[in-house]
Structures are given as C-alpha cells and as structure tokens.
C-alpha cells in the first residue's frame, strides 16, 4: 500500500517534471534564433545588436557589397522608422542576363512570379539604401506569385500570396550589380496586404526552394546555389514592419544558367 503510494507519487513527480521540460521545449521552438542561443530579453541597446546576431559590416564579399559599409541597411524603408527585411541577395556572380531588368523578369517567371498585375502599381512603394551612393531609392521591381498565365498576377493581387520587392546595387559607390530582394507572403487584399505570421521567413524560403530546385522558362534553364548568412540582419521584430518576427538569415543566391 505504502509502496504503491510512493510509486504513484514518483510517477506524479515524473509527470510534472516531464511536463515542465516539454513546456520549455515547446516554448523554445517559436522564439527567434539567436547566435549565442540565448532566449530573448531586451538587453541595453548597445548589446542588443550583438546578441541578436548583427555583426560588423563585411568586407570583400564576392558578388555583392554589404550595404552597411556605406550607410545602408538590411531593412528597407517602408516608413521612416519601420522596414521589411532584405532577405535575399542575387549575387552578381549569377547568369549575367538575370542581372538586367528584362532578364530578371524572365527568370522570375521560371520560379512562378511575374511583374505586378498589368504593370499597375497599387499600394505603397518602399525605399531601400543599398549603400551604393544612391541613398534611399524606390523599389525598382515588384514580383508577384502568379497562379494563372496572363491574368495571374491580378489574381494574386486579390488573393494574397508571395511577393518580393527588388533593388539593384548599381550606384557608383558599390556598383556590384547584385539584386537585393525583400520577400514575404501576404494575406489577401481584404486584409490590406498584411504579411502573414512568419511571412518574411516563408516568403524568402519559398523563393530559395524554387530557385535551388532548378527552374525553366521557354527553353532556358537555371539552378541556384544558396549560401545562408547570419549577422547581416537583426533577428526578431525590432523595427520590422507589422512587428512580425523573422530569423535574421539572408539567403545569397548564385543563379547559374544551365
């Protein structure tokens, strides 16, 4: 009887302990990734950037230039104080064709995007500073996921889906020719183009998956290599439009023509 009671008690203790650990595990899943594995709390401003993975600007990167070397940043300017992550770079080591605007328009069709619906731009234009001497410049390109040929992007405009904004790093002070993309997944337009939960990471991953799987359009074939970079963009939602958390990783794509 006593033994049974002791056993029941230890089972209970075991249950409580394992519940406790499973809660810790469950809680640790959605928290933003940090370079040192610390759970987020808000340390003093000076320390925060380092803790969340932002490292000093990089030099001698091949195929692109770190915008932070010359006053730029990896958040665009949606407003003066909030921005969306520039979470993909298409390096200038890529197929030279896709570094041009018309070549880029062709390439994005191969990964399921096209230029905005009938060339109509609705909504807000974002600026970005790529540190190329041009300061904040308006987006040069907006690609939307298409579901149907021809009217495809019109459909996406109504329904929501994946999209990206693109800027080319081609000012005289950093004339790499690379494309910088801010990718995200949107809700439908009844929600006024809000970004879905985890929409920045999802938008980025969607493009990276398609590009690295290989793609083709009208007899042209491409396949991208990806390098993931930590420390360019602050993880979390500090200064991020809509306050949506993102993991701070930037995908550097080198797209090869096959």
The answer to whether 170 contacts ligand NAG (rule: CB under 6 A) is yes
- In the bound state with ligand NAG, the residue whose beta carbon lies nearer, of 40 and 103, is 103
Beta bridge partners of 183: 164
Structure tokens at 54: 């932002």
Torsion from C-alpha of 118, 136, 85, 157, nearest 10 degrees: -20
The answer to whether 140 contacts ligand NAG (rule: CB under 6 A) is yes
For residue 181, with 0-12 CB atoms within 10 Å meaning exposed, 13-18 middle and 19 or more buried, which class applies? buried
What x/- string results for residues 55 through 94 when contact with ligand NAG is judged by CB under 6 A?
A: ----------------------------------------
* CB 92 to ligand NAG: min, Å: 12
CB 106 within 8 A of CB 215: no
The answer to whether 168 contacts ligand NAG (rule: CB under 6 A) is yes
- In the bound state with ligand NAG, the residue whose beta carbon lies nearer, of 47 and 101, is 101
* CB 125 to ligand NAG: min, Å: 14
The answer to whether 115 contacts ligand NAG (rule: CB under 6 A) is no
* CB 180 to ligand NAG: min, Å: 11
Burial 213-228 (b: 16+ CB within 10 A, else e): eebeeeebebebeeee
User: Which one of residues 101, 197, 209, 227 is an interface residue with ligand NAG (CB under 6 A)?
Assistant: 101
* CB 174 to ligand NAG: min, Å: 12
SS percent in the chain: helix, strand, coil, step 5 = 35, 25, 45
- Comparing C-alpha atoms, which of 188, 171, 167 is closest to residue 125? 167
Footprint on this chain of ligand NAG (rule: CB under 6 A):
101, 140, 168, 170
């Amino acid at each position: 009887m006593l033994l049974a009671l002791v056993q029941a008690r230890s089972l209970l203790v075991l249950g409580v302990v394992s519940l406790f650990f499973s809660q810790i595990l469950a809680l640790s899943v959605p928290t933003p990734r940090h370079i040192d594995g610390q759970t987020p709390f808000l340390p003093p401003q000076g320390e925060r950037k380092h803790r969340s993975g932002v490292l000093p600007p990089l030099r001698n990167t091949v195929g692109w230039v770190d915008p932070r070397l010359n006053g730029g940043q990896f958040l665009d300017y949606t407003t003066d104080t909030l921005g969306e992550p520039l979470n993909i770079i298409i390096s200038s080591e890529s197929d030279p064709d896709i570094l041009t605007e018309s070549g880029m328009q062709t390439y994005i069709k191969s990964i399921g995007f096209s230029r905005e619906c009938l060339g109509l731009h609705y909504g807000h234009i974002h600026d970005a500073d790529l540190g190329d001497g041009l300061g904040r410049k308006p987006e040069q390109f907006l690609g939307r996921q298409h579901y149907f040929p021809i009217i495809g992007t019109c459909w996406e405009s109504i329904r929501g889906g994946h999209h990206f904004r693109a800027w080319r790093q081609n000012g005289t002070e950093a004339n790499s020719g690379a494309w910088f993309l801010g990718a995200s997944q949107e809700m439908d337009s009844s929600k006024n183009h809000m970004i879905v939960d985890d929409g920045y990471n999802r938008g980025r991953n969607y493009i990276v998956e398609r590009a690295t799987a290989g793609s083709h359009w009208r007899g042209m074939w491409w396949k991208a290599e990806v390098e993931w970079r930590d420390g360019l963009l602050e993880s979390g939602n500090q200064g991020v439009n809509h306050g949506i958390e993102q993991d701070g990783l930037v995908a550097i794509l080198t797209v090869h023509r096959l």
